[in-house]
Structures are given as C-alpha cells and as structure tokens.
Amino acid sequence: MKKPELLAPAGNLEKLKVAILYGADAVYCGGHQYGLREGADNFSLAELAEGTEFAHRYGRKIYLTVNMIPHNDDLIGLPDYLKQLQAIGVDGLIIADPGVLYFLQAEGIELPVHLSTQANAVNWASIRFWKEQGIERVILARELSQEEISEIREKTELELEIFIHGSNCISYSGRCLLSNYLVNRDANRGKCAHSCRWKYYLVEEKRPGEYYPITEDEQGSYIMNSKDLCLLEYLPEIINMGIDSLKIEGRMKSLHYVANVTRVYRRAIDAYLANPVAYRLDPLWWEELKKINQRDYTTAFFAGPPTTVDHNYHSSAYQRNFDFIGMIREYRPEKGEATVEVRHKLVRGDLLEIIGFDGESFTQRLDYLLNEAGEQLESAPHPRQLIRIPVDRPVQPYYLVRRERNEPRS
C-alpha cells in the first residue's frame, strides 16, 4: 500500500514550521507575487529560503504556488522569479496557466511542475494531455466523485493530488467572476473577496435602500454558502485508490487550524497504514476537527453530487468553539514554567489546553501569570506579549495553547 503525502498549507513562515512539526510530509506556500491568496502573509524570497531549509532539515518538501492566471502585464519579471525559485531549491511549482509552463520550459527550469486545481482537471484524458506537456503531478478539481477519481487513477500514471479538507469554492475551482464584478477583486489573480458567502437581498430599482430578504425557506437564503470539505471518513478508500498526495486547504487559515487539522490527518493516515484491518475512525479526531473554526462539514462531491445538506443553512460565519491563545516559545523544566507568546487575552485562573506535536493534549490551570520581568499579572491582553505560565507537563517551542470559549473565567 502506497503511503500518501500529507500536504499542509503554509500562509507564512511560522505556519510552515508548525505544519511540519505537527506532521505534514510537505507544505505549499506562495511568494509575494503570482501565487493567488493575496490575503495570506506569503513569503519573501529570504523567508522562502529559510522555509525550504527548515522543511529539508526535517526531510519534508516544499511546493510553491505560481498559480495565478496572469495577464500580459503580470508576465513582466516572471522568468527571473522562476529562476530565483529554482536557485532556492523548492521541491516543485504549482501552476495553472500554460503561459507559466512556457516560461519554465523556455528558461530550462527543471523543477517538478504540479498542475493547480485552478486548471480544472476532471477527466483522465486531460491528465494524459498534461503528462505530455511535462507536468509531473495533477491536483484534481474538487468536483469529482470517488468513482471518477478511481477511474482517473486506473487510466493515468501521473502523480495525483486531491483536496481532503478545507473551504470549498462554490464555483468550479475558481471559475467565478463574482468577486471581480462586485468589488473588482480578481479571484484568479489572488484577490477573491469570498463574495459567495455574503448576504444577498433583493432591491427594486426605484426603492434604493429597501432590502427584501430572499428566502429559500424559513431560515433564509444559502444558495452559495457551502459547508467545509472533510474526507476523514473516506481516508481508507482514498489511500487504497493510490492517491499520491492528500491536500489540506487553507493558506489564509490560522496557526491553530494548520496544527490541528494536520495532526488529525497525520494520526489517521499513520493508524490506517500501521494496521488497515484494525483501523477505526477515532471519535477524538472528529472532536478535534470541530474545535477549529469551521462552517460544518461536507464530503462535497466525493460521495455523490452535493445536495441541500451540503450547504450551511444557518450562517456563513465560522463556528468558533475555541480561542487560539498563543504559542509556547520556551520551556524551563527546572521551574515547571513555559513562556507563551500571547495571541488572545490570557486571564489568571483560565483553564487552557496545550496541544503537543504527538497528538496529545493536556489541560492547564493558570494559577499565575508573570511578565518577562517576573511581575505577577492578573491578565495579559496584548498580542505578542511574552508571558510566563506554569505547566504541569513538559512542553516544547511551537506547542499551541487554546481555551474553550464557553469555559467560565474565575
């Protein structure tokens, strides 16, 4: 049985390190240009070099997105940029536009090329075509059923990558002009405003300001509000199909999302490969996936055409059950203390959960908070503050700290 690659998103250098430490076999990220997801922090060339060195130190891979659909003006500087990526030593490029492939071949750049999901590959003939063009891996469109993916696998030899988790684009993999039309932000040039999740009303032209609700049922309208993809329950089938890479969506998602989703799929993949016969989906993995911000889960097209249950009827907002409190920066075993870089207000008496790389978590009551000078604090409200807290068990830098939202504060 082939071990698939677990591929995690890295919106910035810190998320790249977290993804790798929490179990990703490979990460994908974007530079400041050409990579879609303009809203992510993205990587300078220096950060990319550091990220590549970090990934390779752990024996992992790093792929760079160059998957915008460039207009003529966007091509200026592209060949130099591609050469710089080659010099840095990334393990592959994710592209969508044949023009980018043209430059790669014209400049003799020999990096492995992956075809982005933006290219909408939905059949085996398309994949054979792309093989002839020199592509090494195809990231299949999300709009495919298990049977279709299986047939593509049987009839092609290229590496195949599929999305297993994350947000769904409601149109065909980015073939959407909603964001361009409403706010002049081109989804295919990295600027999608996610207009599909906005609330829409009906307005009669002579009555500006009078908004009539559009209701599909008593809950309102949800025509474009997809739930998030989650294929955890189909992991054995996906591995048995021989898919090469399992991708987690979310370069704009939080550190908490990257760490938690990566470690859940890491545990599930390893458990299945270790003993496929005894493998059972652990309910704790589901619980963990519910602890991150999400819009309820769907298997989208994998188990058959989506229906009304694959849309979220109630709200386009994320469900937020936990707050991401911060990240461990330092551990002092002699004092039983750790330094946390704060991302969300800490209060003395809080009950926190500390998440380890190995999948284990433990709860920790904050009996005291100290600032860097060792002074007692009642709370730490400022992001990026460094705060010393007691820890009952050993921790490591990059362990994450979270707090349940409805946990009462003392």
Stretch that binds ligand SF4, among 22-30, 172-180, 327-335, 377-385 (CB under 6 A): 172-180
312 is a site residue for ligand SF4 (CB under 6 A) = no
Query: Residue 66: phi, psi to the nearest 5?
Result: -130, 50
300 is a site residue for ligand SF4 (CB under 6 A) = no
Report how many residues bind ligand SF4 under the rule CB under 6 A: 12
* Interactions with ligand SF4, residue window 179-218 (CB under 6 A): 179, 187, 192, 194-196
Q: Is 10 exposed, middle or buried (0-12, 13-18, 19+ CB in 10 A)?
A: buried
Nearer Cβ to ligand SF4, position 170 or 370? 170
Q: Cβ of residue 319: shortest distance to ligand SF4, in angstroms?
A: 18
Q: Let me know: does 261 contact 292? Beta carbons within 8 Å.
A: yes
Amino acid, res. 125: A
171 is a site residue for ligand SF4 (CB under 6 A) = yes
Q: Cβ of residue 72: shortest distance to ligand SF4, in angstroms?
A: 22
Q: Cβ of residue 191: shortest distance to ligand SF4, in angstroms?
A: 9
Nearer Cβ to ligand SF4, position 183 or 214? 183
Q: Helices in 275-345 by DSSP H: which ranges? A: 283-291
Other CB atoms closer than 10 Å to residue 321's CB: what's the count? 15
Nearer Cβ to ligand SF4, position 142 or 388? 142
Residue count of the chain, please give it.
410
Out of 45, 49, 109, 170, the only residue in the binding site for ligand SF4 (CB under 6 A) is: 170
What distance in Å separates the CA atoms of residue 116 and residue 188, rounded to the nearest whole number? 12
Q: Cβ of residue 348: shortest distance to ligand SF4, in angstroms?
A: 41
What distance in Å separates the CA atoms of residue 171 and residue 339, rounded to the nearest whole number? 44
DSSP code, position 211: P
β-strands 113-115, 92-95 pairing: parallel
DSSP code, position 303: T
Q: Is 236 exposed, middle or buried (0-12, 13-18, 19+ CB in 10 A)?
A: middle
Nearest residue to 305 (alpha-carbon basis) of 83, 187, 79, 148? 148
Q: Cβ of residue 224: shortest distance to ligand SF4, in angstroms?
A: 7
Q: Cβ of residue 236: shortest distance to ligand SF4, in angstroms?
A: 30
What distance in Å separates the CA atoms of residue 7 and residue 268, rounded to the nearest whole number? 14
Nearer Cβ to ligand SF4, position 301 or 399? 301
Stretch that binds ligand SF4, among 35-43, 171-179, 386-394, 397-405 (CB under 6 A): 171-179
351 is a site residue for ligand SF4 (CB under 6 A) = no
Q: Cβ of residue 399: shortest distance to ligand SF4, in angstroms?
A: 32
Nearest residue to 293 (alpha-carbon basis) of 259, 269, 247? 259
40 is a site residue for ligand SF4 (CB under 6 A) = no
Interaction site with ligand SF4 (CB under 6 A): 169-171, 174, 176, 178-179, 187, 192, 194-196
